[in-house]
Chain A
Amino acid sequence: MLRNALIAAGVTAALLATGPASAAEKKVIAVSIPAADHGWTAGVVYHANAAAKEINKAFPGIEVIVKTSPSASAQVSAIEDMSATRKMDALVILPHSSEELTTPVKTIKEKGTFITVVDRGLNDPHIQDLYVAGDNIAVGFNTAKFLVEKMGGKGNLVVLRGIPTVIDDERIKGFQDGIKGSDLKILDIQYANWNSDEAFKLMQDYLAKYPQIDAVWANDDDMLLGVLEAIKQSGRKDIKFALGGNGMKEIIEKVKAGDAMTPVETPYPPSMIKTAIYLTAAHFAGHAPVRGALKLDAPLITKDNAEEYYFPDSPF
């Protein structure tokens, strides 16, 4: 929070220093994202700031401003304040929630601002000029397909879900579709709220309850960390695979090292915010047509392509 305030202050100071004349000629891209309150959003903040720095350096005619907000209502205030106090040529927004942000973003759109929506869609898709998102269904589906193939189509699974949201539902649905038709059986599925501690406890309980577990899927890497610790403590040898999702750097490191239990990963990369900011910048700097929707694939990350998804300096 403090740092965000400092960044905001820094941006303001920089603006004052450059003077109104030169600032007015620049195309301003405002980026509004959730504050870093867990691993994934921390990654979003990191990549947004990285993109802002790179683009501001590469294109003198563009200025990217990053603003983080801790809640949906704070995000509404933030974008209203930004649009009230300065010219905004584009808004790149990763909404806290679709419902609350739809009307405020629409108001900004009506002033002629280019709107890029990332990850969570708004309720009215006509508002957005560009939509960039990952594929949550593929996160579950591709993981399931990998397990079906590697386990010869049969075995006992346990699954850890996150927080009841559309994101979680889509991943679980993709996974269930992926194992359909095989003899892989989900013994149990429970919420662990995308939290490593809760996942640790839940995995201990799964291990106590089921004498034979062939594979575990935690639909997020924070939870996978807790799962791996519980398996290690139990000393059980029956678990062949423990997989996660999202692309946390600690897990990518395992994949790179050829870990036997976690040999693959599926990305839902927070770096998609960077993709969105670059595309929006291309609209102004490159005169390249970017209107449309871009759905990033969630291909299996293996030892061979892990480098592409590895960001050692990111907090996630």
Chain B
Amino acid sequence: MADVAAAPPRAQHNWSIGWGDAGPFLALAALVAIGYLINPDFLSANNIANVVTRSAFIAIIAIGATFVISSGGLDLSVGSMAAFITGVMILFMNTVAPSVGTAAIPLGMAVALVTGIACGLLNGTIVTVGRIEPFIATLGTMGIFRALITYMTDGGTVAIDRSLRDAYRPVYFGDVLGVPIPILVSLAVALVAAYVLYRTRYGRRCVAVGANEDVARYSGISVTRIRITAYVIQGACVAIAAICYVPRLGAATPTTGLLWELQVITAVVIGGTALRGGRGRVWGTVAGAVILEFIANLMVLSDFVSEYLVAAVQGVIIIIAMLIQRMSKR
């Protein structure tokens, strides 16, 4: 993945944007149509709202991962990091709640953001300054974050203080004009991310570094700074996801966020971002996250998949979604 020097620099053809980027949305549309045929309840407003809301965590984290991956990096620690941030946030809020009341919630959100940025900075520094392969570096921090959350919870559960529970609940379960808040948050994150990636100098440099590190360096781009920033964006996204996640079950456990990293990477790749870097698609990533959650939902709503085979069918559908995405690019 870091061996981008061997890959030929790929030109960005403006004319290819259009059909080429429609792939994940075509796959999503196909899935919705199939879902409706299997079980008409699939398209009920309630079900759609539930499923899209659920996909928000993965979508938000995956938007961050779009930056890391398009810059030629990888972050395996996001699931553990989400659990760790959740734990830090809950413990902090429970500590200050007796003295500041519900003001503990915005303070907790700030603490979560700072923690996330710090975690991202740590990952980015190890990868760039430490010159360690992103796969190994973030595999290491993945273990570290997971162990820390297990330590903080004594292996059990840390639950949010009862006095904060009801005040915080709307952040996951509430809605504005009928649209659940987590969906609005992920849309806002996607809008900002799309602007940064497509319209700013940082975004273009990020993709350039992923396309060819050496060429980017010769053109005077600070590869280290670009990469660290990508990991910091990732950390901030994980923190935002954690902020939306905490009110759902109101607790952190050692199994929180388990294997989210794989879902995140899958969402990013289904969305059209190149796993080897050099190409990032923010809206495709969001579609990818929704596709994954729709697939899981359909497995339950349909009656013809044995409970033992669910994972296999999911795997097949993911591969088919990738093929649709690929073919639409040609």
Contacts and interface: CB of A to CB of B under 8 A. Distances in A.
Contacts of A39: 155-157, 253
Identify the 8 closest CB pairs spanning chains A and B, nearest first: A36-B155, A315-B156, A42-B155, A205-B300, A315-B154, A42-B156, A208-B47, A204-B50
17 contacts: A1-B151, A36-B154, A36-B254, A38-B254, A38-B255, A42-B153, A42-B154, A45-B154, A191-B307, A197-B248, A205-B300, A208-B50, A225-B251, A233-B173, A314-B156, A315-B153, A316-B157
B308 to A, nearest CB: 7
A149 B166 CA distance: 35
A195 B155 contact: no
Nearest to A204: B50
Given A188-B300, A209-B300, A196 B154 contact: no
Given A46-B154, A201-B54, 12 more contacts: A36-B254, A37-B155, A42-B154, A45-B155, A164-B308, A189-B307, A196-B255, A200-B248, A204-B54, A205-B301, A208-B50, A233-B173
B5 interface: no
Contact of A206 (B157, B248, B300): B300
Contact of A43 (B156, B248, B251): B156
Interface in A169-216: 188-191, 194-197, 200-202, 204-206, 208-209
Given A3-B151, A190-B307, A191-B307, A36 B249 contact: no
Contact of B310 (A191, A206, A316): A191
Contact of B296 (A35, A41, A201): A201
A45 B151 CA distance: 12
B273 interface: no
Contacts of A201: 54, 296-297
Residue among B41, B156, B248, B296 with the most chain A CB within 10 A? B156
B328 interface: no
B310 A2 contact: no
Contacts of A35: 155
A37 to B, nearest CB: 5
Given A205-B300, A315-B154, A190 B248 contact: no
A161 interface: yes
A75 to B, nearest CB: 16
B258 interface: yes
A233 B47 CA distance: 12
Contacts of A222: 157, 253, 255
A201 B51 CA distance: 8
A37 B254 contact: yes
B159 interface: yes
Contacts of A42: 153-156, 254
Chain A contact residues (Cβ within 8 angstroms of B): what range? 35 or more
Contacts of B300: 188, 190, 202, 205-206, 209
A198 B32 CA distance: 22
Interface of B: 39, 41, 44, 46-47, 50-51, 54, 147, 150-151, 153-157, 159, 173, 248-251, 253-256, 258, 296-297, 300-301, 307-308, 310
B32 to A, nearest CB: 15
A161 B310 CA distance: 13
A100 interface: no
Interface string A215-231: 00000001001100100
Interface of A: 1-3, 35-39, 41-43, 45-46, 161, 164, 188-191, 194-197, 200-202, 204-206, 208-209, 222, 225-226, 229, 233-234, 250, 314-316
A225 B249 contact: yes
Residue among B155, B248, B258 with the most chain A CB within 10 A? B155
A229 B307 contact: no
A208 B253 contact: no
Contacts of B150: 1, 36-37
Contacts of A188: 300
Contacts of B297: 201, 205, 208
Contacts of B154: 36, 42, 45-46, 315
A45 B254 CA distance: 15
A316 B159 CA distance: 12
B155 A315 contact: yes
B155 A208 contact: no
Contacts of A205: 47, 50, 297, 300-301
A286 B41 CA distance: 65
B245 to A, nearest CB: 9
A201 to B, nearest CB: 6
Contacts of B50: 204-205, 208
Contacts of A46: 154
A229 B157 CA distance: 16
B159 A250 contact: yes
B155 A229 contact: no
B30 to A, nearest CB: 20
A43 B126 CA distance: 36
B188 to A, nearest CB: 23
A306 B41 CA distance: 41
